[in-house]
Structure 1
Amino acid sequence: MSKLRVGLLFGGRSGEHEVSIISAKAIANALSSGENSQKYEVTPFYIQKNGVWQAGETAQQVLTSGKPTENDSQTANLWQFPPQAADIDLWFPVLHGPNGEDGTIQGLLTLMQVPFVGSGVLGSAVGMDKIAMKTAFAQAGIPQVKYKAITRDQIWSNPCIFPKLCDEIEASLGYPCFVKPANLGSSVGIAKVRSRQELEAALDNAASYDRRIIVEAGVVAREVECAVLGNDNPKASVIGEITFNSDFYDYETKYTQGKADLFIPASLPKNIVPKIQELAVKAFLAVDGAGLSRVDFFYVEATGEILINEINTFPGFTSTSMYPQLWEKTGISFTELVDQLIQLAIERHSKLEEIEES
């Protein structure tokens, strides 16, 4: 049997460019190990920060070194793909954040009419936009913290409206609360605020990142996570917990070694674990997820409440990331996990083709 030609797509035009490279390197190693090496032929495709696609020696060099290249003078043209792209049987997009995890690249891969790992356009877009995501969760009846959705125009366009907006946030959510751009990952642009002055500054800052902003009520809770794997009938992993000493789980805490600790499985009451797993699957289906997702929750020990925080349709995938570690503790090794993701992509693509042909 000939090997399946897998296009490993990484890098991208987001603030998580470097993390994407590390994730892709781990996946490439897994696809080249054990039985996977007999099944798959990996071709790396690197998207530079300026959007230019690179293949061949350049892409392999970035993958091997784990370090991005400098942008060249070439401008991005989506209709001038590297010629190797025509030979790909399946795409494995290892892209985090905007222009990779938000439905944009998924739309392009859909037009290519070949299978790809992960959620489609709808699941990726809803899973990326925190406002759309929370709307989907509310419709599905999944408990979550109180929040208020606002736009950049409400913050910047009319100075007379801005004080009233802050009054409404204080009255409905109180302090502390969190201000977040709706469409950025890795805690970029997020601020925890405890006063009117901090709220005004945080709203102004968040508006510089995105035209849609969400403000969430703060909650005293443990932060736990559950991994989901599958398509129409997904399964949930054991539960993991993140602990940290910083004010909240910001970018520096996430990506600085020793700043946060992961506990898998989390020490939780026995009746809480299946509830979190059930809600994780429910959230996955609510956004039309496919392949993989990591679902983050708040567990309020004082009341026993479980509140959903967010879903990540393509979470970090390094060997030390929470998603693969959760499955490792559940009984699926890293190499088995990437194999299953490819098989799920093939299954989903085949079903979509059947629908189109009927």
Structure 2
Amino acid sequence: MKTNIYVLCGGKSVEHDISLRSASAIINAIDRKKYNVYPIYITNGGVWCNLGLWENKIESPDELRSISSSTVSLSMGEFLTNILKADEDNLVFPALHGPNGEDGTVQGFLELLNIPYVGNGVLSSSVAMDKVVTKDLLTKYNIPQVKYTSFKLHSWKENEEKSYEEVEKEIGYPCYIKPSNGGSSVGISVARNREELVNSFKEAFLYDSKIIIEAEIVAREMQVSVVGNHNPKASVPGEFIMERPFFDYNAKYIDGKLIPVVPARLTPEITDLVCRTAEKTFKVLNCSGLARVDIFVTDNNEIFVNEINTMPGFTAVSMTPVLWKATDGTTYGELVERLIRLGLERYNERKVLVNKR
């Protein structure tokens, strides 16, 4: 009997549309001889919409959109009682990016339901989504990072002037201001003076109640895909030719300005250092399945971990599949199958654990 794979897409996130692109490619790549594919579209309001057994190729991500008048609770109840086939083999592929999907919330729900799923567990998903917590943890393990500080919304509102003075004293200009939780460069801006800093604080706090401020570093950013459970392996590093000071949302997904260079232009020694650092970061954050680690490399060959993404963009031309194709010839379909196997492996290992009081 075929295993049923439920691909979650959309979601309550600013990365909703990116999720649909990733899900479309994943659905098209899943081997229909081995699996039944059921896309589950999650609206911007959080309602789960069953799109039924999907046998054809998806031509446009918009095919996955659906409209529903149901509530979140009722739609999730319908998924559990009428859609999820309790007497068959099931697996969930959360093709969700950002909060309410990549941050451990969905993963926790699936853990409670005792359903195997692709990708990282609750802890690694939630920790990696929070840039401040991630950096604090990596600091403990002496993983190099650029200088940073953070602020919560309530403390900023209590004394805005003090917050700005602290940034100027501890970080200086120019600096980057980011929401602590989020992705795809949404809400991120650079400040070169006090006026820009004030505006950047206001912008970042639109997307999260906690923000992080990082010192600017003159460096190239490498992207490394790490895949595995107990023995994770890093791909070759890749990079993008810089046409902007940093890649905002438009540069990444709309303008088509990104020019990938794979493998990245690094010496063998620095390539090895970048890959080992990516693997160490993956392990420190207790990751499983997959992640993409972004690492800065300066002209002096210093390296600094920027961030880790536990469900990176996963279209056919996204960096993750491109990196593995360049590393060992793995095709997109083979990578999807590998992630499914890793998800089942992790589930089966945890299933035999005995819980005692």
Q: TM-score range by the shorter chain?
A: over 0.9
Pair 1:38 & 2:33 matched = yes
Deviation per CA, 1:217-240: give whole Å up to 9, x if none: 000000111000001210000010
One of 48, 55, 63 as aligned partner of 2:50: 55
Determine the C-alpha separation between the residues in 1 that align with 2:289 and 2:197: 38
Q: Residue 50 of structure 2 contacts residue 79 of structure 2 at CA under 8 Å; is this kept in 1?
A: no
Determine the C-alpha separation between the residues in 2 that align with 1:195 and 1:234: 42
Distance 1:235 1:3, change over 3 A: same
Determine the C-alpha separation between the residues in 2 that align with 1:300 and 1:345: 36
Deviation at 1:37, TM superposition (A): 3.0
Deviation at 1:69, TM superposition (A): 3.4
Deviation per CA, 1:291-321: give whole Å up to 9, x if none: 00000011011x2100000000000000010
TM-score (norm: length of structure 1): 0.93
Matching residue of 2:202:
204
Distance 1:60 1:257, change over 3 A: farther
1:322-333 equivalences in 2 (<5 Å): 322-331=319-328, 332-333=330-331
- Residue 325 of structure 2 aligns with an amino acid whose one-letter code is E
Secondary structure (helix, strand or coil) at the match of 1:282 reads helix
TM-score (norm: length of structure 2): 0.93
Determine the C-alpha separation between the residues in 2 that align with 1:99 and 1:37: 29
Q: Residue 223 of structure 1 contacts residue 243 of structure 1 at CA under 8 Å; is this kept in 2?
A: no
Matching residue of 2:163:
165
- Residue 6 of structure 2 aligns with an amino acid whose one-letter code is G
Deviation at 1:48, TM superposition (A): 1.2
Deviation at 1:187, TM superposition (A): 0.6
Give the percent of matched residue pairs that are identical in Structure 1 and Structure 2.
43
One of 314, 324, 332 as aligned partner of 1:317: 314
Pair 1:137 & 2:113 matched = no
Matching residue of 1:250:
248
Matching residue of 2:173:
175
Determine the C-alpha separation between the residues in 2 that align with 1:187 and 1:11: 18
Deviation at 1:257, TM superposition (A): 4.4
Structure 1: runs of 5 or more not aligned: none
Distance 1:198 1:257, change over 3 A: closer
1:202-351 equivalences in 2 (<5 Å): 202-301=200-299, 303-331=300-328, 332-351=330-349
Deviation at 1:86, TM superposition (A): 3.3
Q: Residue 32 of structure 2 contacts residue 55 of structure 2 at CA under 8 Å; is this kept in 1?
A: no
Deviation at 1:63, TM superposition (A): 5.4
Matching residue of 1:29:
28
Determine the C-alpha separation between the residues in 2 that align with 1:58 and 1:183: 34
Determine the C-alpha separation between the residues in 2 that align with 1:57 and 1:101: 23
Deviation per CA, 1:209-259: give whole Å up to 9, x if none: 111110000000001110000012100000101123123111011102431
Deviation at 1:59, TM superposition (A): 8.1
Q: Residue 145 of structure 2 contacts residue 304 of structure 2 at CA under 8 Å; is this kept in 1?
A: yes
Matching residue of 1:187:
185
Q: Residue 103 of structure 1 contacts residue 120 of structure 1 at CA under 8 Å; is this kept in 2?
A: yes
Deviation at 1:62, TM superposition (A): 11
- Residue 76 of structure 1 aligns with an amino acid whose one-letter code is V
Determine the C-alpha separation between the residues in 1 that align with 2:141 and 2:354: 28
Secondary structure (helix, strand or coil) at the match of 1:81 reads helix
Structure 2: runs of 5 or more not aligned: none
Matching residue of 1:76:
72
Q: Residue 45 of structure 1 contacts residue 59 of structure 1 at CA under 8 Å; is this kept in 2?
A: no
